[in-house]
Amino acid sequence: MLPGGVGGEHGRRGGIARVGGASKDVTTDYVVSVVNALVIMFFNNIYGVVAEKMNAWENYETETQYENNLILKVFVFRFVNSYASLYYLAFFRRFEHFDSRLHCDPEQCSKQLASQLAVIFLTQLFVSNAFELGTLWFARAYKRRRQRTAVGSLLQTYQNDYDNDDNDDNDDDDNDYAANNHVWNEYQSERYDRTFDDYNELLVSYGYCTLFVIAFPLAPLFGFLSNIVESRIDGYKLCRLQRRPFPRRADDIGAWQIALEVMAWAILATNLGLVCFASRKLRILFGIHNHDFAQVITVLCVFVLLVGLWQLLAWCFKDPPAFMVEHIHRTDHIEHQLQGLSREVEQFFDELKEDEVSSWEQWTVHYVLAFLKKVLVKNPFEFEPIKAIFLRHNINGKAFAKLKSDQLLKFGVKDYLIAELILHARALLVRHASNVKAQAIMFDELENQAAT
């Protein structure tokens, strides 16, 4: 009994030691993964500044060229910096020497790849958002502190004057001051310059979700949850900590499309490599052993098959649906008509006197029809139904000012496009009349100042 007991005790102690060593190794792996995530974020931010400086020195002719080259520079660096350690774990660490502590078999490497991917993903999600929100919050707090210090005496003077006013006036002034203070606080917020950083963040997260999904199938779920968190955080950032973004027109997303296509090819090749080289799935499913030639041939065959399927789907869905094409053509036609209408309206206004434009609500029905015929419909046969409707219902200037789209349809204007063009012509008329009145008032004030 004694030797068995001693041996059992030694075995239990050895097991406890192994469990303790394993727990220490797991803790070390997690710590290293967190440090790796922080280092990746640090160098991504540093190179972002360097890339902008380099791009500025290259002195591109257009803003589009500047943006596209900056996108490609940052994308290439972030791809290598963000995924290099994961590619090493997936494909190269198993080739380390057997005596080295870095060596691991394919299954162990896949487990370490999954754990490191999860830690990097979550660490970057929380740290990047915390840093982004913290930076904006501290910048706003610092700016407000400087503002209070600079205008403290002025605010005190205003408060003293405010306390000496009557109660009724105080209520009105209080509301005005609160409204102005709210507007001023929004103006003091940081500007939202561009979507460049948001695109970068989305592209890196897209790679973490899909590049190594064979090794870590929960990565898409993590990506879905991170998108929910990102949407709420970005919404708070845009609504509370930054000014309203200024929209800019663009034909497409530029070089981001190239980056997404490169990422798609990398996803296909990486997951095929994980299946064929870094796991035993081929041996289990097809009886293919770890022979390099057989693995390479398998990868090439599956790659060609998937690319062919990809191209087939792209060919089947290359044309947009008929309803979408019709909607696009209709929208382009309406835009073209509205642009032509604006030019015709300006030409018509140049032929009128100022008092005629200012008193357009006093126009007769025939004057309204002359205006619409000039700026709206050139074909007399198309204009006759509109003329008959306006004459039958006596739509003069006063009625034209109150006209609505549902009334036009009720009166007999069946074409929705014609109804919208009529209302758009009236809106341009109202705008021009208000501009004429404002110019007249300004000229009168200038004449009075010159006379005095």
> 164-190, pLDDT tens digit by residue?
554 444 444 544 444 456 666 666 677
Query: Cα angle at 76 between 73 and 82, to 5 degrees?
Result: 125
Instruction: List, in order, residues 6 or more apart from 244 with CB less than 8 Å away.
Output: 186, 192, 238
Rounded Cα distance, 316 and 301, in Å = 23
Q: Which is higher by pLDDT, 236 or 17?
A: 236
Predicted local distance difference test score (pLDDT) of residue 281:
62
If you average pLDDT over residues 269-290, what whole number do you get? 70
If you average pLDDT over residues 134-157, what whole number do you get? 65
Q: Which is higher by pLDDT, 20 or 415?
A: 415
pLDDT exceeds 50 at position 329: yes
Task: Report the CATH architecture of 323-451.
Answer: Orthogonal Bundle (1.10)
If you average pLDDT over residues 144-165, what whole number do you get? 56
Predicted local distance difference test score (pLDDT) of residue 77:
92
Of 227, 235, 277, residue with least CA distance to 89: 277
Predicted local distance difference test score (pLDDT) of residue 117:
86
Token pair recorded at residue 326: 């019709």
93: which DSSP letter? G
pTM over 0.85: no
Q: What's the Cα-to-Cα distance from 419 to each of 377, 387, 427, rounded to whole Å?
A: 12, 13, 13
Token pair recorded at residue 44: 């991504």
pLDDT exceeds 70 at position 274: yes
User: Please, where are the H alpha helices in 211-291?
Assistant: 219-236, 256-277, 281-286
List pLDDT tens digits, range 401-450.
888 888 888 888 777 777 877 888 788 788 878 877 777 777 777 777 77
Pair 368, 451: CB distance under 8 Å: no
Amino acid sitting at position 152? G
Pair 425, 375: CB distance under 8 Å: yes
Please provide residue 302's backbone torsions phi and psi, each rounded to the nearest 5 degrees. -65, -35
Q: Which is higher by pLDDT, 341 or 386?
A: 386
Which residue in this structure is represented by tokens 């963000």? Answer: 82
Predicted local distance difference test score (pLDDT) of residue 178:
45
Count of CB atoms within 10 A of residue 23's CB?
Answer: 10
Confidence of residue 80 (pLDDT cuts 50, 70, 90): very high
| Average pLDDT in the chain | 75
Q: Which is higher by pLDDT, 155 or 193?
A: 193
If you average pLDDT over residues 291-297, what whole number do you get? 70
Of 199, 258, 201, residue with least CA distance to 44: 201
Q: Where do you find CATH 1.10.150.50 in the chain?
A: 323-451
Predicted local distance difference test score (pLDDT) of residue 287:
59
Token pair recorded at residue 255: 């070089």
Q: Which is higher by pLDDT, 386 or 354?
A: 386
Confidence of residue 340 (pLDDT cuts 50, 70, 90): low
DSSP result, 64-78: HHHHHHHHHHHHHHH
Predicted local distance difference test score (pLDDT) of residue 283:
62
List pLDDT tens digits, range 90-137.
888 777 766 666 667 777 777 888 888 888 888 888 887 787 777 777
Q: Which is higher by pLDDT, 425 or 258?
A: 258
